[in-house]
Amino acid sequence: MEKKILEKSNELFLNLGFKSVTMDEIASALGVSKKTIYKYFKNKTELVAAVTEYMFNTICKGIDCILDSKMNPIEELFSIKKLVMEHLKDEKSSPQFQLQKYYPKIYTSLKHKQFDIMQGCIIDNLKSGIELGLYRKNIDLEFISRIYFNGVTGIKDKDLFPLNNYSMQTLMNYYLEYHLRGICTEKGLLELEKQLKNNQF
């Protein structure tokens, strides 16, 4: 039952926002009483924390599977982007903004965990790309990995990028291309063009 509560809550939070969804609505969507939810989560804040942890772990497992499949680094980034978009369902309600505004402690904790995972992942991706001649040799790994994280989180700022002007899918596509064009060699650019053709939406 706990997993069902997490899955349904996650779906509702992503579609409608962390602030908008009530415990009554979650109970109704599950066809259970509110009391059943409170058996597993003592309040909404605890449920929000559990849902963000659940989603974070789900995406991390998916990323691990992609890394294990040993694709080339450019294809790897496109696959990770696709995985994240499938799980976040285009973030119609701008959940990151609501999380930051209404649950700042949970947001800060999640951001630290995301940074730790992404930092290692991107540095490995950059090293691999340099070895394969897809990325330029003279790039600063630490700087690029940090600027990449900052960009990926920055495009979710709905004041800078209003959701009626840009879908999250479009923003992620633009940002990934922007990132790769800045670090690719000629060989890398050929692979990038191939991935852009294969990943048209």
Q: Model-level pTM?
A: 0.89
**Is residue 16, in this structure, part of any structural domain at all?**
no
**Is residue 88, in this structure, part of any structural domain at all?**
yes
Average pLDDT, the chain: 91
**Is residue 192, in this structure, part of any structural domain at all?**
yes
- pLDDT-derived band at 106 (thresholds 50, 70, 90) equals very high
**Is residue 113, in this structure, part of any structural domain at all?**
yes
What's phi and psi for 135, nearest 5 deg?
-115, 155
pLDDT at 90 over 80: no
How many CB atoms are closer than 10 A to CB 70?
Answer: 8
How many angstroms separate the CA atoms of 151 and 54, rounded? 24
**For residue 56, what are the domain limits?**
44-198
Average pLDDT over residues 17-34: 93
Average pLDDT over residues 25-43: 95
Is 166 or 134 the better-scoring residue by pLDDT? 134
Whole-number percent of the chain with pLDDT over 70: 96
DSSP secondary structure of 92-129: TT-HHHHHHHH-HHHHHHHHHHHHHHHHHHHHHHHHHH
**Is residue 18, in this structure, part of any structural domain at all?**
no
**Is residue 165, in this structure, part of any structural domain at all?**
yes
pLDDT digits (tens, 9 = 90+) for 145-164: 999 999 998 888 888 888 78
Structure tokens at 42: 């003592």
**Is residue 39, in this structure, part of any structural domain at all?**
no
N-term to C-term CA, the chain? 36
pLDDT digits (tens, 9 = 90+) for 37-59: 999 999 999 999 999 999 999 99
Q: Which residues contact 141 (CB under 8 A, 6 or more apart)?
A: 123, 126, 127
Q: 22 by DSSP, 3-state: which?
A: coil
Q: State the residue for tokens 């990132």.
A: 179
pLDDT at 189: 97
Domains held by the chain: number: 1
The CATH number for 106's domain is: 1.10.357.10
pLDDT at 93: 53
Average pLDDT over residues 99-113: 93
pLDDT at 96: 76
pLDDT digits (tens, 9 = 90+) for 69-86: 989 999 999 999 999 888
**Is residue 142, in this structure, part of any structural domain at all?**
yes
